[in-house]
């Protein structure tokens, strides 16, 4: 049980770094209304789609390390919204730091705080610096 939204968020990033589906399942609310949007990816809605998306990402060989920073936390009643920057440190290219703008939302339930939204995007100024491969022939999801 996550007693605070910050506890849920810490578990969320631990799940990503450790590729731990058990923790990821615990973090997310069991609902058809949860939404996850990965950078350059499509909207995944409902627990089944969201978990399938994370399973796909965890199946990749490379590991991801995050440094969440500049976190703005807002709580109102049973809803919490965190707006932050994820500094992504790909293990495959440790010299390449990727700054991702992210919104995470959490809902207080009888089982503690649960994630209901993860929306991550790459700022347009960063995208312009990249030499992106042909979109038709490559995956569009960064994390």
Structure confidence by residue, pLDDT tens digits, 63-115: 778 888 899 999 999 999 999 999 887 777 767 778 899 999 999 999 999 99
**Does 33 or 129 have the greater pLDDT score?**
33
Structure confidence by residue, pLDDT tens digits, 102-142: 999 999 999 999 999 999 998 776 665 655 454 444 445 55
| Average pLDDT of span 32-36 | 98
Give every strand in the sheet of 35-37, ordered side by side. 43-45, 35-37, 112-121, 98-109, 79-90, 64-76
Write b or e for each residue in 47-80: b if 16 or more Cβ atoms lie within 10 A of its Cβ, otherwise e.
Answer: beebbebbeebbeeeeebebebeeeeeeeeeeeb
Q: Which domains does the chain have, with CATH numbers?
A: 5-131 (3.10.450.50)
Please report the pLDDT score of residue 61 as a whole number.
63
Structure confidence by residue, pLDDT tens digits, 2-31: 999 999 999 999 999 999 999 999 999 999
Q: Show Cβ contacts of residue 100 under 8 Å, excluding neighbours closer than 6 positions.
A: 39, 85, 86, 87, 88, 120, 121, 122, 142, 143
């Amino acid at each position: 049980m996550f007693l605070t939204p910050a506890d849920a968020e810490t578990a969320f990033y631990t799940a990503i770094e450790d590729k731990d589906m058990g923790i990821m399942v615990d973090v997310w609310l069991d609902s058809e209304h949860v939404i996850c949007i990965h950078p350059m990816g499509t909207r995944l809605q409902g627990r089944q789609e969201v978990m399938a998306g994370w399973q796909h990402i965890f199946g990749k060989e490379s590991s991801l390390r995050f440094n969440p920073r500049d976190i703005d936390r807002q709580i109102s009643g049973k809803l919490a919204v965190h707006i932050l920057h994820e500094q992504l440190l790909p293990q495959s290219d440790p010299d390449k730091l990727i700054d991702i703008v992210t919104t995470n939302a959490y809902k207080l339930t009888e089982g503690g705080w649960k994630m209901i939204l993860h929306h991550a995007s790459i700022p347009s100024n960063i995208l312009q610096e990249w030499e992106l491969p042909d979109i038709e022939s490559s995956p569009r999801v960064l994390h």
